[in-house]
Amino acid sequence: MTNEEIQARITEVLCELFELDSADVTPEARLYEDLDIDSIDAVDLIVELKTMTDGKKIDPEDFKSVRTVADVITAIEKLMNN
Amino acid sequence: MRLGKYWRFSATFFCFFIFGLGGMILPLIVRPLLWLFVRNALQRQRVGKQMVHYCFRIFVEIMQLLGVIRYQVIGAENLAKTGQLILANHPTLIDVVLLIAFVKNADCVVKESLFKNPATFGAITMAGYITNDSPAKMLDKVARSLQQGNNVIIFPEGTRTTANEPLKLKRGAANIALTSKSDITPVIINCSPPALSKEHRWYEAVNERVNLSIDIRNSIDISEFSQSERTSHSSRKLTRYLEWYFSEALSLY
pLDDT tens per residue across span B163-176? 778 888 988 899 89
Q: What letter does residue B112 receive in the DSSP assignment? A: G
Nearby residues of A78 by Cβ (< 8 Å), 6 or more positions away: none
Q: What's residue B3's pLDDT? A: 62
Q: What's residue B232's pLDDT? A: 85
pLDDT tens per residue across span A42-59? 878 888 888 877 777 777
pLDDT tens per residue across span B89-138? 999 989 999 999 999 899 999 988 898 899 999 999 999 999 988 777 88
Contacts of A17 in chain B (CB under 8 A): 230, 232-233
CB A31 within 8 A of CB A44: no
CB B214 within 8 A of CB B99: yes
Residues of chain B above pLDDT 70, percent: 98
Residue B214 to residues B79, B89, B190, Cα–Cα distance (Å): 12, 10, 7
d(CA A65, CA B31): 40
For residue B156, name the pLDDT band (cuts at 50, 70, 90): very high
Residues 11-40 of A with CB under 8 A from B: 17-19, 38-40
For residue B205, name the pLDDT band (cuts at 50, 70, 90): low
Residue from B3, B6, B2, B7 nearest B67 by CA: B7
Active site residue A59: no
Ordered structural domains, chain B, with CATH:
2-251 (3.40.1130)
| Closest partner CB to A41 (pick from B134, B139, B232) | B232
B76-87 b/e (C-beta count within 10 Å ≥ 16 → b): eebbeeebbbbb
Q: Where are the alpha helices (DSSP H) in B66-195?
A: 95-102, 118-127, 135-147, 172-179
- In A, minimum Cα distance to B171 occurs at A38
Q: What letter does residue B249 receive in the DSSP assignment? A: H
- Tell me which of A47-56, B97-106, B200-209, B218-227 is least confident: B200-209
Mean of the pLDDT values across residues A21-42? 88
CA torsion angle for B221, B222, B226, B227 (degrees, to 10)?
30
Q: What's residue B143's pLDDT? A: 93
| Interface mutation target, options A18, A20, A32, A40, chain B, most CBs of B under 10 Å | A40
| Bigger pLDDT: B76 vs B3 | B76
Predicted ipTM of the assembly: 0.76
How many structural domains compose chain A? 1
Residues of chain A above pLDDT 70, percent: 99
In single-letter form, the type of residue at position B50 comes to: Q
| Closest partner CB to B171 (pick from A17, A38, A43) | A38
B201 pLDDT above the threshold of 80? no
**CATH number of the domain residue A68 falls in:** 1.10.1200.10
Are A17 and B230 an interchain contact pair (Cβ–Cβ within 8 Å)?
yes
pTM for this model (two decimals):
0.87
Residue B243 to residues B48, B58, B66, B145, Cα–Cα distance (Å): 33, 33, 35, 25
d(CA B93, CA B252): 22
